């Protein structure tokens, strides 16, 4: 009689078990499984990671616990609600974004567009805790908002200095893109001072990065390799095969958040002018077509229009003036003028150096507060 090895007898009883546990003995006349396996790779062993090779892991560990998901509910009026069964009069729209805690007593930063018009705000931490959030204030011009939850001893994200950011440095984004919580992506700082990243007239010198950012990342932190927040992810520009993302420098966000915490609103100075960037070619065209302005063939910023009764008009600024400096800072385009004015204070003198005709002069303007829309 043929005697089967024990594992073979077991296989006849429960063949499915053979797939799970296998058999280490051979059948009579057949080679059994060897105790030593044939190697499938002869690559040398990989040395263990050194401490310096875990910089992204270490940076994320510092900030990650303070990155939150923000869920919002916005109630909107349905103009057709109640008519012919076309839905309720009031409808609810749900939104989602990211944010990060900056104070252990429950203060966090996010984008203004994440919480805009929200009637309900829910904040969820990575450890699963959920809080009801209150929007203390927001600033649509810079897209910064401050939210407060009732809590204590929360994890905090360390803030860095965005003035020290340089192209080529590591850039790490943390957030909840497309509803996928606590997602980490990495790239480099592609550029800084992008004043025309999301349209003209911006008051933010954006940080540009190639770290993958998607809807839902809005309001989340952009951090450096030392685990410091250097920006708030706010906008993306996509093209076939490529994508760029832009972050509000944390130094700008600090200033806006400080005003919101102090006053509940944000004040932006303005002087009341319409400007045009100049190139030598454009100057030649202007000089050839009109005698109203005679401009030097240089790159610069020219005043096109001065609003009546504005701080610029009261301070003596005129059309055709070529602006060189604002507040002691050299300016080369209208966006840089805008940023320099925004660094000033409402009602405080602001020096504007310019060329008028063949002469040079410096005017002292007193910016007024930019009227709020709506």
Q: Would you please indicate which residues are annotated as catalytic (active-site) residues?
A: 113, 143, 218
Round to whole Å and give the CA distance between 276 and 244: 27
Q: Are strands 229-239 and 350-356 parallel, antiparallel or unpaired?
A: unpaired
Round to whole Å and give the CA distance between 128 and 206: 32
Among 38, 109, 115, CA closest to 73 = 115
Round to whole Å and give the CA distance between 65 and 59: 11
Q: What letter does residue 169 receive in the DSSP assignment?
A: S
Round to whole Å and give the CA distance between 304 and 273: 7
Asked if 225 contacts 172 with a C-beta cutoff of 8 angstroms, the reply is: yes
Q: Are strands 144-149 and 269-270 parallel, antiparallel or unpaired?
A: unpaired
DSSP helix/strand/coil, 292: coil
Q: What letter does residue 343 receive in the DSSP assignment?
A: T
Element (H, E) at 100: strand 90-103
């Amino acid at each position: 009689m043929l005697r089967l090895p024990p594992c073979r007898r077991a296989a006849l009883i429960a063949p499915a078990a053979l797939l799970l546990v296998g058999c280490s003995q051979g059948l009579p006349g057949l080679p059994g499984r060897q105790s030593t396996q044939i190697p499938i790779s002869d690559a040398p062993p990989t040395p263990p990671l050194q401490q310096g090779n875990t910089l992204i892991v270490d940076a994320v560990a510092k900030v990650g616990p303070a990155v939150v998901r923000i869920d919002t509910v916005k109630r909107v009026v349905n103009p057709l609600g109640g008519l012919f069964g076309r839905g309720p009069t009031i409808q609810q729209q749900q939104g989602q974004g990211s944010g990060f805690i900056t104070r252990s007593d429950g203060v966090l930063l996010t984008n203004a567009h994440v919480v805009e018009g929200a009637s309900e705000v829910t904040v969820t931490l990575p450890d699963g805790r959920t809080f009801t959030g209150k929007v203390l204030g927001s600033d649509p011009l810079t897209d910064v908002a401050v939210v407060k939850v009732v809590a204590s001893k929360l994890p905090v994200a360390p803030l860095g200095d965005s003035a020290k950011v340089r192209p080529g440095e590591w850039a790490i984004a943390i957030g909840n893109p497309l509803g996928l919580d606590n997602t980490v992506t990495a790239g480099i700082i592609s550029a800084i001072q992008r004043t025309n990243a999301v349209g003209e007239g911006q008051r933010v010198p954006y940080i540009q990065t190639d770290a993958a950012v998607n809807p839902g990342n809005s309001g989340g932190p952009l951090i450096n390799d030392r685990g410091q927040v250097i920006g708030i992810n706010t906008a993306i520009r996509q093209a076939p095969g490529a994508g760029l993302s832009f972050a509000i420098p944390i130094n700008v966000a600090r200033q806006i958040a400080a005003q919101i915490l102090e006053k509940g609103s944000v004040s932006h100075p303005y002087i009341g002018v319409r400007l045009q960037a100049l190139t030598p070619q454009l100057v030649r065209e202007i000089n050839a077509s009109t005698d109203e302005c005679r401009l030097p063939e240089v790159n610069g910023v020219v005043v096109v229009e001065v609003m009546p009764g504005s701080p610029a008009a009261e301070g003596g600024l005129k059309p055709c003036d070529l602006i060189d400096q604002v507040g002691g800072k050299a300016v080369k385009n209208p966006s840089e003028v805008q940023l320099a004015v925004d660094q000033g204070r409402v009602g405080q003198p602001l020096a504007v150096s310019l060329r008028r005709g063949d002469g040079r002069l410096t005017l002292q303007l007193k910016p007024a507060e930019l009227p709020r829309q709506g």
